[in-house]
Structure 1
Amino acid sequence: MQNFASSEKNITREPGVVVAAGNSIRDDEASIATRAAWLHYAGGLTQSEVARRLGLTGLKAHRLITKANQDGLIKIFVDGDVSECVELESRLSERFGLDYCEVVPDFDPDALPLKALGIAGARYLKRQIENGEYAMVGVGHGRTLAACVEHLPRMAAGGTSFVSLLGGLTRKFAANPHDVIHRLAERTGAEAYVMPVPMFANTEQDREVLLGQHGVADVLELARSSGLVLAGIGTAEPEASLVATGMVARSEMDEVKRMGGVGELLGHFFDKEGKPFETGLSKRVLALCREDLRRLRIVAVAGGVIKIPAVLSVLRSGNLAGLITDERTARALMEGMPVG
Structure 2
Amino acid sequence: MIDGEASLATRAAWLYFAAGLTQSEVAERLNIQSTKAHRLIARASREGMIRVFVEGPVAECVALENVLAERFGLGFCRVAPDLGEGDWPLKALALEGASFLRQILERGEHKIIGVGHGRTLAAVVEQLPQTPARDVQFVSLLGGLTRKFAANPFDVIHRLAERTGAEAYLLPVPVFANSVADRAVLMQQYGIAEVYALAREASLLFVGVGQIHSDGFLVSSGMIKPDEVVELKRAGACADLLGRFFSADGQVLDLDLSARATSMAPADLRAHRIVAIGGGLAKVAALRAVLRSGLLHGLIIDEVTAQALVTDKPETTSGKTKTKGRKGK
Please, what TM-score do these two structures have when normalized by structure 2?
0.78
Structure 1 contact 129–158 (Cα < 8 Å) conserved: no
1:272 lines up with 2:254 in the alignment: no
Structure 1 contact 303–329 (Cα < 8 Å) conserved: yes
In structure 2, the residue matched to 1:70 is none
State the AA in 2 paired with 1:94: E
State the AA in 2 paired with 1:275: Q
State the shift of 1:224 in Å. 0.8
In structure 2, the residue matched to 1:132 is 108
State the shift of 1:109 in Å. 2.1
3-state secondary structure, aligned to 1:31: coil
Q: How does 1:194-233 map to 2 (within 5 A)?
A: 194-233=170-209
Q: Could you give the per-residue CA deviations for residues 165-188 of structure 1, whole angstroms, max 9, x where no partner exists?
A: 00121238574333x111111111
In structure 2, the residue matched to 1:310 is 286
Q: Could you give the per-residue CA deviations for residues 166-220 of structure 1, whole angstroms, max 9, x where no partner exists?
A: 0121238574333x11111111111000111001001111011111112121111
Q: Could you give the per-residue CA deviations for residues 224-271 of structure 1, whole angstroms, max 9, x where no partner exists?
A: 111111100001111221111001111111110111101111110000
State the AA in 1 paired with 2:153: N
Q: Could you give the per-residue CA deviations for residues 21-74 of structure 1, whole angstroms, max 9, x where no partner exists?
A: xx999x989733x23xxxxxxxxxxxxxxxxxxxxxxxxxxxxxxxxxxxxxxx
Work out the number of aligned pairs and report it.
Answer: 270
In structure 2, the residue matched to 1:189 is 165
Structure 2 contact 72–294 (Cα < 8 Å) conserved: yes
State the AA in 2 paired with 1:279: L
3-state secondary structure, aligned to 2:175: coil
Give me the CA root mean square deviation: 2.2
Q: Measure, in 2, the Cα distance between the counterparts of 1:251 and 1:283.
A: 17
Q: Structure 1 24/297 Cα, relative in aligned 2: closer, same or farther at 3 Å?
A: farther
1:176 lines up with 2:153 in the alignment: yes
Q: Measure, in 2, the Cα distance between the counterparts of 1:83 and 1:278.
A: 41
Q: Structure 1 226/174 Cα, relative in aligned 2: closer, same or farther at 3 Å?
A: closer
Q: Measure, in 1, the Cα distance between the counterparts of 2:267 and 2:152.
A: 29
State the shift of 1:291 in Å. 0.6
Q: How does 1:61-72 map to 2 (within 5 A)?
A: none
Q: Could you give the per-residue CA deviations for residues 91-115 of structure 1, whole angstroms, max 9, x where no partner exists?
A: 1000111111000111142312111
1:31 lines up with 2:54 in the alignment: yes
1:243 lines up with 2:219 in the alignment: yes
Q: How does 1:16-165 map to 2 (within 5 A)?
A: 31-32=54-55, 34-35=56-57, 82-165=58-141
Give ranges in structure 2 of 5+ residues lacking alignment: 1-17, 21-49, 317-329
In structure 1, the residue matched to 2:306 is 330
Q: Could you give the per-residue CA deviations for residues 112-166 of structure 1, whole angstroms, max 9, x where no partner exists?
A: 2111101110110011011110001100001110110111112211311100000
| Greater C-alpha radius of gyration | 2
Q: Structure 1 24/141 Cα, relative in aligned 2: closer, same or farther at 3 Å?
A: same
Structure 1 contact 88–103 (Cα < 8 Å) conserved: yes
Q: Measure, in 2, the Cα distance between the counterparts of 1:87 and 1:205.
A: 48
3-state secondary structure, aligned to 1:282: helix
State the AA in 1 paired with 2:122: A
Q: Structure 1 174/113 Cα, relative in aligned 2: closer, same or farther at 3 Å?
A: farther
Q: Measure, in 1, the Cα distance between the counterparts of 2:315 and 2:301.
A: 22
Q: Measure, in 2, the Cα distance between the counterparts of 1:239 and 1:253.
A: 10
Structure 2 contact 105–131 (Cα < 8 Å) conserved: no
Q: Measure, in 2, the Cα distance between the counterparts of 1:29 and 1:112.
A: 21
